[in-house]
A and B are shown apart, each in its own frame.
Chain A
Amino acid sequence: MRRGDVVLETRNLSMHFGGVRAVDHVDFSLWDNELRCLIGPNGAGKSTFFKCLTGQLTPTAGDVVIRDVHVAGREPHAVARLGVGIKTQVPNVFDGLTARENIWISARRWHTAKRAAALTAQTIERLQLGDIAAKLVGSLAHGQRQWVELGMVVAADPWLVLLDEPAAGMTHEETARTADLIKEINETAAMIVVEHDMQFIRMISKQVTLFHEGSILMDDTMDAISADPRAREVYLGHRA
């Protein structure tokens, strides 16, 4: 496997809430063009780790470096400003605006009015959002809102994409489409995907990082992790 440069790295990253060590001394590296899944049981620290990467939380200790830029503790928009596309666990969308406006706001951040309009139309077509483009996002179903948020990520044309549970609450068909879309995005961007759904992870990922009690337990292929007794014990065992 060809490995380029490290595009995202955490060094000794820790996030403590009172006495709870949600993330504990994590060293993590993501390579250029890589698609990495983060898995782990509930409370393993995946989402906290994710929020430290996106700037939504300021880590207690340690550093997050994205392409030589130290971002830990910076303002929330600072990470996105590097050209990083982010989708949060609970859909964060503009409920009072239409799906088209949601996507336009994202595209317009980086492009001229004309180019943004073209990108918006292109994104709506690519994600097959034509039927709901003129509807207020607040009136849409959960899965559709997830897609509008993915549309916002795609429209900005990011080089690094961070997704927290992109397939949560989706139907089987929607999940399959999401997996295809993620593979497509990965052609031009490095990605981190936090996910619960094992089926879904098998569809998209080669390399998987397993979190357990705030630390990285394993970092391997999905098959290797499935076969590992420790992993079974902390996570997969509960599901089987």
Chain B
Amino acid sequence: MKIAGDFRGTLFIAALAALFTLIAPSILNFVTILTLTQVIGLAILALSLALVWGYGGILCFGQTAFFGIGAYAYAIAAANIGGSTGAIFVGIAVAAIFAAMLGYFIFYGRVSDVYLAVITLTVTLILYSLLRRTSGPEYKIGNALLGGFNGTGAAPLNIPGDGAAMLFPEQTFYVAMAALILAYVFCGWLVRTHFGRVCVAIRENETRAELLAYDTRAYKLGIFTIGAGIAALGGIFFSVGVTRVTPDIFSLSQAALTIIWVIVGGRGTLVGPILATFGLYYLTASLGTQQLINTNLVLGVILIAFVLLVPQGIVPTVLNWLTARRSARTDRARERRVRMRRPRAGARGEGA
């Protein structure tokens, strides 16, 4: 079926990523590996929006709300539990439950697309303002101080069952990559299931899906909630990478950046937004080392260029180009055969 090509493609990309994971620590320096853990978190965030927006057709402008809630819930839980393993599940669960409640009112209230984008963005900005005002000793959940705009410390990962056995940065990188790969394969599998295909069908035509007796509200709520859980996973690795969670995670620029990654990478693919996250992060980091041009200006130009020139995003455009080239080649081969057959066709004409 056509929905996203073959599942083997997904597994192939996952295998490439696994290979990269194994060789990366030996070819990249220590600081890059440290930074990569953060970027992997952001890539998982982009993946979650690729699922919710690209496949589910739900333009969630505040995907970072779930990313941030996951990160905060992880940090608070880890500080109280004294270990990271359980805290990861707490982080994912809290974000998913929050998304399920928010999504219930949005989808069952039949809020339309534009308002959905506005609501989700507003929720993110509310969290931003709210958490910035939590400085002071009275804002404390168990052992965890929320810390206002300075944020709260996010515990490093440890070996399951042993809170004192911290992972080394390299090992954390392996775990983060494993999480990204698993999340990617999971999404690749999900969009090919009956549930995933119905979500794509709803994106294409919600009325038709309803006329085929699908309760579209439930499907949209489902993919929205799953996407929030994945975003939370990204938030956890991001906060582990930077060792803190601050309210900036809910900022407008971070919310917008997530949308940009998906637009640049391509809606309707899963790997595109992931690659775009790494690419644009690298670009921003390189531009950050010079003072000549403002980084945000460059990002803005890239976004405008993509919307105008490559509206489908990188990955779909490259795939289309490859398909077009292949069919052009078979066309040329066919033309050649026709040209060569012409004299013989005349000879046959004489014989008849």
Q: Which residues of A contact B (CB under 8 A)?
A: 54, 56, 75-77, 80-81, 86, 88, 92-98, 100-101, 104-106, 108-110, 113, 134, 136, 152, 156
Q: A76-B210, A106-B212 are in contact. Are A113 and B194 (CB under 8 A)?
A: yes
B287 adjacent to chain A (CB < 8 Å)? no
Question: Please, which residues of chain A bring their CB within 8 A of the CB of B3?
Answer: 97, 101
A134, B247: Cα distance in complex, Å: 48
A80, B200: Cα distance in complex, Å: 19
Q: A96-B200, A96-B204, A97-B3 are in contact. Are A88 and B194 (CB under 8 A)?
A: no
Question: Interface range on chain B: under 10, 10 to 19, 20 to 34, or 35 or more?
Answer: 20 to 34
| Contact residues of B between 199 and 232, Cβ < 8 Å to A | 200-201, 203-205, 207-216
Most central of A80, A94, A95, A156 by chain B CB within 10 Å:
A94
Question: Please, which residues of chain B bring their CB within 8 A of the CB of A94?
Answer: 200-201, 204-205, 208
Q: Which residues of B contact A (CB under 8 A)?
A: 1-3, 194, 197-198, 200-201, 203-205, 207-216
B contacts with A: majority SS? helix
Task: Tell me the smallest distance from the CB of A95 to a CB of chain B, in Å.
Answer: 6
Q: B215, A75: Cβ atoms under 8 Å?
A: yes
Beyond known contacts A54-B211, A94-B205, A101-B197: 18 more, CB 8 A cutoff: A56-B207, A77-B216, A80-B210, A88-B211, A92-B207, A92-B211, A93-B208, A94-B208, A95-B205, A97-B200, A97-B201, A100-B1, A105-B198, A105-B209, A108-B197, A134-B2, A136-B2, A152-B212
A79, B3: Cα distance in complex, Å: 28
A-B contact pairs, 16 of them (CB 8 A): A54-B211, A56-B207, A80-B212, A86-B211, A88-B207, A92-B207, A95-B205, A97-B3, A97-B200, A98-B2, A101-B1, A101-B3, A104-B1, A108-B194, A108-B197, A136-B2
A156, B3: Cα distance in complex, Å: 21
Question: Please, which residues of chain B bring their CB within 8 A of the CB of A109?
Answer: 212-214
Q: A77-B215, A98-B2 are in contact. Are A105 and B201 (CB under 8 A)?
A: yes
A76, B212: Cα distance in complex, Å: 10
Q: A77, B204: Cβ atoms under 8 Å?
A: no
Question: Please, which residues of chain A bring their CB within 8 A of the CB of B212?
Answer: 77, 80, 105-106, 109, 152, 156
Most central of B2, B203, B215 by chain A CB within 10 Å:
B2
Chain B: which residue is nearest A81 at the CB level?
Answer: B213
Question: Please, which residues of chain B bring their CB within 8 A of the CB of A104?
Answer: 1, 197
Question: Please, which residues of chain B bring their CB within 8 A of the CB of A110?
Answer: 213
Question: Please, which residues of chain B bring their CB within 8 A of the CB of A93?
Answer: 205, 208
Chain A: which residue is nearest B203 at the CB level?
Answer: A96
A109, B1: Cα distance in complex, Å: 17
